[in-house]
Amino acid sequence: MLEGLMALWALNVAAQHLERGRVVSDIQLGFVELSVNKQRLRTWVSQRQLDAGAVPAERDRLLQSMRDTLVQLQTLAQRAATLDPGANTRAEHLQRQDALAVLTRSVDALASEVNRVQPLRPGTDARSTWDALNERFDMSDGRDLRQLLAQGSARELAAVQRERQAADRTLAWMRLLWTAAASSLALGALLLAAYLTRALRQPLERLSEGALALQRGDLDHRIPEQGRDEFSAVARSVNAMAAELAEHRTAERQTRQRLEEQVQARTAELQGALQSLRDVDARRRQLFADISHELRTPTTAIRGEAEITLRGQAKPPAEYQAALRRIVETSGQLGLVIDDLLTMARSDIDALALQRRAIDLAPAFTEAMEQAQALAHEHQVKLHSAPLPAVPLPLLADPQRLRQLITLLLDNAIRYSAPGGEVRVRVLLAADTTLRCVVEVCNAGIGIAPDELPRVFERNFRGEQARRHRADGSGLGLAIGRALARAHGGEISLSSDPINGTTATLWLPITPYLESSDA
Is the pLDDT reported for residue 366 higher than 70? yes
What pLDDT, on a 0 to 100 scale, did the predictor assign at position 440? 92
Structure confidence at residue 519 as a pLDDT band (50, 70, 90): very low
| Alpha carbons 294 and 473: distance in angstroms, whole number | 10
Over residues 21-45, the pLDDT tens digits come to 787 788 878 878 888 888 888 888 8
Q: What is the CATH number of domain 2-184?
A: 1.20.120.30
Domain parsing of the chain, residue ranges? 2-184, 200-349, 353-509
The reply to whether the predicted model has a pTM over 0.85 is no
Residue 137 clears pLDDT 80, i.e. is over it: no
CA distance 38 to 46: 13
Regarding predicted confidence, which is higher, 374 or 369?
Answer: 369
Asked whether 426 and 409 are in contact (CB, 8 A), the reply is no
375 contact partners, CB below 8 Å, separation of at least 6: 410, 411, 414, 415
- Indicate whether 301 pLDDT > 70: no
For 78-93, write each residue's pLDDT tens digit. 887 787 776 667 777 7
Q: What are 211-231's pLDDT values in tens digits?
A: 777 777 777 777 777 767 777
On whether the CB atoms of residues 73 and 113 are closer than 8 A, the answer is no
Per-residue pLDDT at 515: 42
pLDDT value of position 333? 59
- pLDDT of 245-256, one tens digit each? 888 888 888 999
How confident is the prediction for the chain on average, in pLDDT?
77
Q: What would the pLDDT profile of 384-431 be if each residue is shown by its tens digit?
A: 998 888 888 899 888 888 888 888 888 888 877 888 889 999 999 887
What is the structure's pLDDT at 60?
86
pLDDT tens-place string over residues 346-361: 555 444 557 888 899 9
CATH topology of domain 353-509: Heat Shock Protein 90 (3.30.565)
104 residue type, one letter:
T
What digits encode the pLDDT tens for the residues 75-130?
887 887 787 776 667 777 777 787 778 778 878 877 887 787 777 777 666 667 66
- The predicted pLDDT at position 72 comes to 87
Percentage, residues of the chain above pLDDT 70: 80
Mean pLDDT value across residues 260-278: 88
Between the alpha carbon of residue 191 and those of residues 2, 177, 181, 229, 417, the distances in Å are 17, 21, 15, 19, 119
